[in-house]
């Protein structure tokens, strides 16, 4: 196209003093070229249409457009519930250390968070930030302040922090030898519980001159110890504060990512087989979702006879032989005042069964 | 991490969660492609036309001056074509690149390194949260979170900010921005049929020009002249804007026209309803609904739906017991706000028993058999060993003291 423009410009200049018929022919040729080129441009662009629409079709084919059918859509529509949701998100943001985002959300949503609730997270994040920069002092201060409670929890955090500080001194080489030796005094209160560890640490001083990385003690210099100390600290601090280690919102969301495909699947199966009556339990999901053992936060007893979860109105009962069934099952199996255990020959009086609590 | 997702499970989650992530930029790409094609076709036909004229002139006794002026015309049209084509194609290219970036990001869910996968999972949650916050109208928070998380490209911020402008103008009772939005998206809205025209007509009802004309007329002019003038004005406006009304919508149009006969503070309904400020709120809702449908989004954020499914999968009756002995601080559903949110949701379905010791959280099975104390409370054998002192144990929940030997084994099938 540029070429054509230039050609035309040149032609325009020549018009003044050249053979008109030759020019006419040249220009006619230009015109033909122009027409061809622009038609080519238009048709080439049009050809892209196929690819573009293929993208759209691929998206429609490989992703589910409608997911809301597996939940009750309007159940959280009230302003009150929206507020709880915003509260949850604010707490989550504080946990993650995203303080200014949390403040913005409080402002925009009108949620008010008590300072007493914020405070623990602010402090946790401050200490974690320092730990990530390999600065152990805030953590040590905290551990010393909470020494008794940590000991009650059987936590070894304070020792671990001292140990890591000692190791960081070792990293500095022979010049730190005196400082390391002096710091070793901090190990004294832990002498009985961590004797072996202390022996190893002190032993490594021998190799300080020649470099510990070449000695049998090189494992002391492993870098993942820093990530580990962050995890240890988070775990112990949360246990002390009665908080869960992970943000409840993160866990719930991750659990949802696992649950959604399963629910979508069962919904499709139900629709295909046209037995929509199956998902009637509005109080219970239609299918079990395996989240892994780490998500077993509460005991669940499913009565093997009636294949149902026990509840407060239908609690688990222990028979004399030690087998456990639900109360409804017990009533069903009682015949003329006598109850025979479904698993063993033991017979008993139904009233001898005892309610148990998991 | 409490919930461990395998790569296969992550893929399955992609399928149900990421439709909006890809569809919205795709629709923009499609729109820009069509606009580009239209521009190119239009400019190409202009060029072809002037070139044809030039050819005609050349073939029949060309005069130098006319040829020169025609050539100038051709150059002008060619420049216009070049400029417009370049602009349109660049816009298309941007859209295509955005689609590509998002697809590349989604592919990272199957990275080999666990650290990479964890980063991807965190970004996933942040992405869904940002879209949820945008839907709620918390724009500052959403934008800041997107920036801090490095996901600005991956969330549909522009779409929501455009919608925000329209909604804010509607709150100020101005219709111009919304009408412009309707015009901008008219081809897709037309495909969605019904709603779009209703929206436009309702908007036109509220056009302040009507109200102003009213008030003026009523104050200064006699009835006869008023009628004539109003007929004149209303016909023109009506012809211009209501000509595309169809079928059932004509009834609404008639209602609106009838409104012309009444003063603006009329007490007669349905005319009163038509002028009620609450109609503006309804308009905003209507716009929001239409905007979601236009982009093929549902009424709830993917975040909300995921969270509901997730809470249900964790929820057990023990999270809602009257006494608080069953609360587990690690259980998300037992935490304060989530507990209230999860209340109306269905519970998890458990076909098989799974028992955890209240003291240690350890699973109770043949390796750690469940033991019942005389008060009916059950704990794991290992935990009882660990709390045993002088052959006695204290039940953590009732504080009663028993002999270790009084614990009886229970058998769970």
Distance CA B96, CA B42 (A): 23
- Residue B230, pLDDT > 70, answer no
Question: How many Cβ contacts (< 8 angstroms) between chains A and B?
Answer: 373
The predicted model gives B379-387 an average pLDDT of 89
Interface test with A, best of B306, B323, B371 (most A CBs within 10 A): B306
Q: In this predicted structure, which of B71-85, B171-185, B345-359 has the lowest mean pLDDT?
A: B171-185
The predicted model gives B155-171 an average pLDDT of 90
- Residue B222, pLDDT > 50, answer no
Q: In this predicted structure, which of A34-38, B5-9, B178-182, B235-239 has the lowest mean pLDDT?
A: B235-239
Q: In this predicted structure, which of A162-171, B52-61, B239-248 has the lowest mean pLDDT?
A: B239-248
Residue numbers in B near A282 (CB within 8 A) = 346
Does B148 contact A8 at a Cβ distance shorter than 8 Å? no
Average pLDDT over all residues of chain B: 81
Q: A154 in the Ramachandran plot: left (φ > 0), alpha (ψ -120 to 50) or beta?
A: left
Residue numbers in A near B350 (CB within 8 A) = 288, 300, 302, 309
Interface test with B, best of A261, A316, A326 (most B CBs within 10 A): A261
The predicted model gives B89-97 an average pLDDT of 94
Interface test with A, best of B4, B312, B318, B397 (most A CBs within 10 A): B312
Does B355 contact A62 at a Cβ distance shorter than 8 Å? no
Does B354 contact A296 at a Cβ distance shorter than 8 Å? yes
Of B308, B321, B377, the CB nearest to A71: B308
* B16 interfacial to chain A (CB closer than 8 Å): yes
Q: For residue range B344-381, what is the model confidence (pLDDT) as tens digits?
A: 999 998 888 889 988 888 889 888 999 999 999 999 99
- The whole-angstrom distance between B203's CA and the closest CA on chain A is 27
Does A65 contact B296 at a Cβ distance shorter than 8 Å? yes
pLDDT given at position A13 = 67
Please report how the helices B19-59 and A20-62 are oriented relative to each other, as an axis angle in degrees rounded to 10: 160
- The whole-angstrom distance between A176's CA and the closest CA on chain B is 34
* B338 interfacial to chain A (CB closer than 8 Å): yes
- Residue B314, pLDDT > 90, answer yes
Length of chain A counted residue by residue: 358
Residue numbers in B near A85 (CB within 8 A) = 304, 307, 337, 341
- Residue B339, pLDDT > 50, answer yes
Does B306 contact A49 at a Cβ distance shorter than 8 Å? no
- Residue B245, pLDDT > 80, answer no
Q: For residue range A223-263, what is the model confidence (pLDDT) as tens digits?
A: 788 888 888 898 888 888 878 888 999 999 999 999 999 99
pLDDT given at position A72 = 83
Whole-number percent of chain B with pLDDT over 70:
79
pLDDT given at position A169 = 85
pLDDT given at position B224 = 43
List B residues 38-57 in contact with A (Cβ-Cβ < 8 A): 40-41, 44, 47-48, 51, 54-55
Does B75 contact A9 at a Cβ distance shorter than 8 Å? yes
Q: pLDDT below 50 — which residues of chain A?
A: none
Q: Supply the ipTM of this predicted assembly.
A: 0.81
- Residue B226, pLDDT > 80, answer no
pLDDT given at position B206 = 55
pLDDT given at position B234 = 54
Range with top average pLDDT, A18-22, B196-200, B312-316, B357-361: B312-316
- The whole-angstrom distance between A357's CA and the closest CA on chain B is 5
pLDDT given at position A14 = 62
Residue numbers in A near B304 (CB within 8 A) = 76, 85
Interface test with B, best of A11, A253, A305 (most B CBs within 10 A): A253
Does A295 contact B314 at a Cβ distance shorter than 8 Å? yes
Residue numbers in B near A323 (CB within 8 A) = 410-411, 413
Residue numbers in A near B407 (CB within 8 A) = none
pLDDT given at position B257 = 56
Residue numbers in A near B341 (CB within 8 A) = 76, 81, 84-85, 88
């Amino acid at each position: 196209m540029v070429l054509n423009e230039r050609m035309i410009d040149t032609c325009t200049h020549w018009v003044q003093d050249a053979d008109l018929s030759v020019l006419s022919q040249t220009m006619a040729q230009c015109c033909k070229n122009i027409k061809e080129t622009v038609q080519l441009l238009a048709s080439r662009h049009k050809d892209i249409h196929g690819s573009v629409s293929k993208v759209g079709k691929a998206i429609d084919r490989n992703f589910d457009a409608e997911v809301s059918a597996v939940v009750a859509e309007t159940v959280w529509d009230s302003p009150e519930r929206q507020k709880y949701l915003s509260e949850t998100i604010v707490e989550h943001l504080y946990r993650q250390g995203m303080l200014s985002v949390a403040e913005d959300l409080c402002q925009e949503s009108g949620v008010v968070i008590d300072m007493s609730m914020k405070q623990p997270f602010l402090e946790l994040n401050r200490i974690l930030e320092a730990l990530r920069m390999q600065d152990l002092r805030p953590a040590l201060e905290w551990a010393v302040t909470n020494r008794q409670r940590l000991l009650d929890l059987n936590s070894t955090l304070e020792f671990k922090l001292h140990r890591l500080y000692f190791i960081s001194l070792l990293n500095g080489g022979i010049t730190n030898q005196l400082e390391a030796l002096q710091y070793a005094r901090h190990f004294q209160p832990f002498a009985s519980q961590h004797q072996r560890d202390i022996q190893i640490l002190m032993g490594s001083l021998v190799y300080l001159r020649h470099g510990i990385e070449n000695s049998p003690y090189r494992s002391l210099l492993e870098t993942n110890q820093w990530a580990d100390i962050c995890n240890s600290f988070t775990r112990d601090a949360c246990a002390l504060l009665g908080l869960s280690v992970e943000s409840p919102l993160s866990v719930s969301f991750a659990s949802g990512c696992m649950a959604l495909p399963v629910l979508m699947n069962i919904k499709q199966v139900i629709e295909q087989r046209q037995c929509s009556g199956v998902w009637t339990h509005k109080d219970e999901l239609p299918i079990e979702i395996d989240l892994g053992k780490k998500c077993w936060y509460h005991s669940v007893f499913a009565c093997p006879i009636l294949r149902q979860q026990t509840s407060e109105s239908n609690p688990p009962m222990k028979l004399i032989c030690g087998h456990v069934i639900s109360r409804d099952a017990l009533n069903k199996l009682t015949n003329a005042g006598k109850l025979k255990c479904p698993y063993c020959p033991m017979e008993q009086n139904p009233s001898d069964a005892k309610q148990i609590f998991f | 991490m409490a919930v461990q997702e395998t790569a296969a499970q992550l893929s399955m989650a992609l399928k149900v969660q990421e439709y909006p992530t890809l569809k919205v930029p795709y629709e923009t790409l499609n729109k820009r492609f069509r606009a580009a094609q239209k521009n190119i076709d239009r400019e190409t036909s202009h060029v072809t036309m002037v070139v044809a004229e030039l050819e005609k002139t050349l073939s029949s006794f060309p005069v130098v001056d006319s040829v020169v002026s025609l050539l100038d015309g051709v150059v002008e049209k060619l420049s216009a074509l070049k400029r417009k084509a370049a602009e349109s194609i660049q816009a298309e290219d941007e859209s295509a690149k955005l689609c590509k970036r998002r697809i590349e990001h989604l592919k990272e869910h199957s990275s080999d390194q666990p650290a990479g996968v964890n980063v991807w999972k965190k970004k996933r949650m942040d992405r869904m949260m940002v879209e949820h916050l945008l839907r709620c109208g918390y724009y500052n928070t959403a934008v800041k979170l997107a920036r801090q998380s490095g996901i600005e490209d991956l969330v549909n911020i522009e779409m929501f900010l455009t919608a925000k402008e329209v909604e804010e103008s509607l709150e100020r009772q101005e219709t111009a921005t919304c009408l412009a939005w309707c015009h901008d998206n008219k081809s897709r809205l037309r495909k969605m049929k019904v709603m779009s025209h209703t929206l436009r007509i309702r908007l036109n009802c509220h056009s302040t020009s009507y109200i102003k004309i009213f008030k003026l007329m009523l104050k200064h002019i006699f009835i006869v002249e008023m009628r004539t003038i109003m007929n004149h004005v209303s016909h023109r406006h009506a012809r211009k804007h209501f000509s595309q009304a169809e079928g059932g919508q004509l009834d609404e149009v008639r209602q609106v026209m009838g409104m012309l006969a009444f003063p603006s503070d009329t007490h007669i309904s349905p005319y009163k309803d038509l002028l009620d400020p609450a109609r503006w709120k309804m308009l905003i809702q209507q716009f929001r609904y239409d905007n979601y449908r236009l982009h093929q989004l549902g009424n709830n954020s993917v975040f909300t739906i995921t969270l509901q499914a997730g809470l249900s999968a964790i929820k057990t009756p023990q999270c809602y017991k009257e006494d608080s002995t069953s609360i587990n601080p690690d259980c998300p559903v037992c935490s304060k706000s989530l507990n209230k949110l999860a209340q109306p949701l269905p519970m998890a379905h458990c076909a098989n028993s799974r028992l955890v010791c209240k003291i240690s959280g350890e699973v109770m099975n043949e390796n750690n058999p469940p033991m019942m104390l005389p008060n009916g409370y059950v704990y794991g054998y290992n935990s009882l060993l660990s709390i045993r002192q002088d052959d006695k144990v204290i039940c953590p929940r009732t504080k009663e003291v028993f002999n270790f030997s009084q614990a009886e084994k229970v058998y769970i099938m």
